[in-house]
Amino acid sequence: MILEKVIGILEEELDVERDEIKPESKLKADLGADSLDLFELISTIEDECDVTIEEEDYGKLITVQDIVDYIENKKN
């Protein structure tokens, strides 16, 4: 399941407890990601989920669910 995979990536990359990561969690406000974290996160997601996230779409990825939806749309 994509959500579980994304949560695992976020847990490792952002050093956040799994139970703190919800679909509605905001990457910056709730999980404490800064610009460098987001860049590394996108790179890891691209590698582990076999997708390419377009640079112009970076700003659209605000919540965990945004990432999941983006990956699901790219896979279909």
> Does residue 37 contact residue 14 with C-beta atoms inside 8 Å?
yes
Contact 2, 71 (CB under 8 A): yes
Closest CA to 44 of 69, 67, 18: 67
**34 counts as catalytic:** yes
Q: Which of 15, 19, 34, 47 is catalytic?
A: 34
Catalytic residue numbers read 34
